[in-house]
């Protein structure tokens, strides 16, 4: 399968949809957030920027992506979650793919109301072992057993940047830098708008229909 890019405002469900696609098609889920958090363990500058909700340099992000997609498990496609985040990253990614002789694939933008996204961000909980995401503010995302992971049976955690003040910074940053990608990929004829306001099942059905029609 061709690579899949998921673009969305904070807490709009990129990670949840990426996990669904990963399990259904056996595709690696490449989250720039996860890659950066891993890198932050040995880089204080990256760690402080993540905590404040600010962007990391494009060169740093691209290098992380470039190294990851060289892995054997990415040969048959992958799901990009949180990359590219601006036009510069997108154009550099185009060059990277061109050198590898690969096409961009699919670009899905998950549209969501800001108030709904903010409600999601404050309720999001993550399993520290498997990375599965839940949300205590929405019935469909609740864990079965009081903030414990359904699969690992360990207590869920709340990310340090999942708070209202950081959300506002991240959302404004998204509008300024990421939203212009809509026209960028629309001009390439590979952009698909997805309604993310109706729940994860409805979101996935829209994406699944597009994938099946273009397979």
So which residues are the catalytic ones?
Answer: 14, 85, 124, 159, 170
CB atoms within 10 A of CB 153: 12
Q: Which of 111, 72, 66 is nearest to 84 (CA)?
A: 66
């Amino acid at each position: 399968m061709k690579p899949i890019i998921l673009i969305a405002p904070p807490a709009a469900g990129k990670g949840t949809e990426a996990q669904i696609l990963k399990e259904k098609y056996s595709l690696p889920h490449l989250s720039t957030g996860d890659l950066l958090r891993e890198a932050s363990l040995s880089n204080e500058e990256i760690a402080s920027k993540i905590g404040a909700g600010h962007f990391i340099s494009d060169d740093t992000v691209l290098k992380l992506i470039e190294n990851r997609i060289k892995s054997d498990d990415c040969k048959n496609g992958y799901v990009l979650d949180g990359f590219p985040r601006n036009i510069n990253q997108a154009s550099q990614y185009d060059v990277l793919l061109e050198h590898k002789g690969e096409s961009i694939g699919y670009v899905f933008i998950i549209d969501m109301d800001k108030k709904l996204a903010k409600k999601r961000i404050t309720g999001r909980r993550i399993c520290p072992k498997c990375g599965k995401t839940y949300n205590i503010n929405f019935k469909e995302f609740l864990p079965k057993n009081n903030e414990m992971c359904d699969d690992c049976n360990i207590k869920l955690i709340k990310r340090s940047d999942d708070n209202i003040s950081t959300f506002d910074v991240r959302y404004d940053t998204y509008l300024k830098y990421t939203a212009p990608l809509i026209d960028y990929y629309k001009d390439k004829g590979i952009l698909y708008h997805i309604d993310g306001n109706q729940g994860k099942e409805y979101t996935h059905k829209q994406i699944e229909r597009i994938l099946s029609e273009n397979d």
